[in-house]
Copies of this chain bind each other. A is one copy, B any other.
Amino acid sequence: MKAEIITIGDELLIGQVIDTNSAWMAAQLNAIGVDVKQITSIADARLQILHALSEAGNRARIVLISGGLGPTRDDITKQTLCEYFDTNLIVDESALADITAFFARRGISMTELNRKQSEMPAVCTSIPNPAGTARGMWFEKDNTIFISMPGVPFEMKTIMTDYVLPALKKRFPNTAVVHRTILTTGLGESFLAARIEAWENSLPGYIKLAYLPQPGIVRLRLTARGCHEDKLQKEIDTLIEKLYGLIPELIFGEGTETLEGVIGKLLLSKKQTMATAESCTGGSIAQKITSVSGSSAYYKGSVVAYSNEIKQQVLNVDHESLAQNGAVSREVVEQMAQGACRVLNTNWAISVSGIAGPDGGTEEKPVGTVWIGVAGPDGVTSQKFLFGDNRERNNIRATIAALNMLRSKILQSM
């Protein structure tokens, strides 16, 4: 099954916005056995939209379109779709009800521009958008399906997940595609590849392995394609079992799991609590943990101690340790973790202190030096890491390393 993606928006063509929608949509289509053959980005311009629709329609069976559905006049996708499908706009009562409710929930009154968003092309099936006011549209023409969605990533993803992907799967039930994604942390892509090389070489031709690296994490995705889903599933399961045997300490979860989610489940099952004490990560760890709905059951809070003063006054790190060893040291990070446990009255605490960069590095402690501590029922431990010279990536990598250290310690204590 061939698909193409068209993303529409002037901002893409002047380089103001990076098109992240296409990669996400491509990955989702891929996962249901649909091959994306081309991604085309064009401006909010009538002729170009018409041309791109016609070209993509000639080559593909499915065309996903994102962008150009906002209420303002620079967004012309909806009118242009009407022209392409030779139809006109009519008020969609159900869309109007949704939009009215959307604004009522927020306690603000609708403008005429918002009301106009309830007008939909007469020949399309309109797709509800629980995340915004611009609905999706499903058209069919000459055996090709065209689906238009808003360009706001969150709205597009909601419409894809809730409606488009299930509908496409139902429509094209034939190819069996089975995925399983294993999440690893603690080893870079090339070292991980070397470690599982023999296993990778043993994969049959119809099972593909993809390395999907992101800072601090490498996802390993196995994809099997064939006719018999059950058989493929069994083969994948056997292969993954072998993989668990090869790199048990590197795997922290599967699929859409996250380190913070895994930690949450472990703590809930043990009825334990945790806190954080962050310096260089500046709230990143707290943010990850609180991104899990229900985290208030085990997470009490964080002290983001960006100054030594706070490390001493709130976390009770002693003045001498700071003076003798500096804030980025084993002594300080261990006292921070213990202080967080005590002050926030929890079973566990993670602490981080490091030099995120770009400034503040020394010969002895270069930019990227990070100490991470974990305090728990069996005492406190700490470890030193040396990341790179990019502030943002250092924070992400320190956050992941800290979460993973806590995960390991909780598991060891069970």
A residues contacting B by CB (< 8 A) are 10-20, 22-30, 35-43, 48, 52, 55, 70-72, 74, 105-108, 111, 113-114, 131, 152, 154, 179, 181, 188-191, 193-194, 208-213, 215, 221, 223, 276, 278, 280-287, 289-291, 293-296, 299-307, 309-310, 313-314, 343-345, 357-359, 366, 386-393, 395
User: CA of A28 to CA of B14 in the docked complex: distance in angstroms?
Assistant: 8
A36 and B13 in contact, given A114-B190, A290-B282, A345-B309 (Cβ under 8 angstroms): yes
Which residue from B114, B210, B278 sits with its C-beta under 8 Å from A11?
A: B210
Residues in B neighbouring A72, C-beta threshold 8 A: 189-190, 193, 211
**Cα distance, A12 to B166, chains bound together (Å):** 23
Question: Which of A15, A74, A208, A303 gathers the greatest number of chain B CB atoms within 10 Å?
Answer: A15
B41 in contact with A38 (CB, 8 Å): yes
Is B287's CB under 8 angstroms from A282's CB?
Answer: yes
Whether the pair B15, A221 counts as a contact (CB closer than 8 A) is no
Please determine whether A390 and B131 come into contact, CB atoms closer than 8 angstroms. yes
Return the contact of A210 from the options B10, B39, B293, B299 (Cβ within 8 A).
B10
Pick from B23, B287, B343: contact of A15, CB under 8 Å:
B23
Which residues on B sit within 8 Å (CB–CB) of A37?
13, 42-43, 48
Q: For the A-B complex with A16-B221, A74-B208, A286-B287 known, give 11 more contacts whose Cβ atoms are closer than 8 Å.
A: A14-B223, A15-B25, A39-B41, A71-B193, A105-B389, A131-B390, A282-B291, A291-B391, A293-B391, A299-B306, A310-B344
Q: Is the CB of A18 within 8 A of B12?
A: no
Chain B residues closer than 8 Å to A291, beta-carbon distance: 282, 391-392, 395
Nearest-CB residue, chain B, relative to A302: B304
Residues in B with CB closer than 8 Å to A345 are 309, 313
The answer to whether B24 touches A15 (Cβ under 8 A) is yes
Judging by beta carbons under 8 Å apart, are A74 and B293 in contact?
no
* CB-defined contacts of A301 to chain B, threshold 8 Å: 303-307, 310, 314
Write 5 A-B pairs (CB below 8 A) sorted by A numbering. A12-B22, A16-B221, A295-B306, A300-B309, A303-B304
Measured between beta carbons, the chain B residues less than 8 angstroms from A305 are 301
- How far apart sit A380 and B28, CA to CA, in the bound complex (Å)? 48
- Beta-carbon nearest neighbor of A107 in chain B: B386
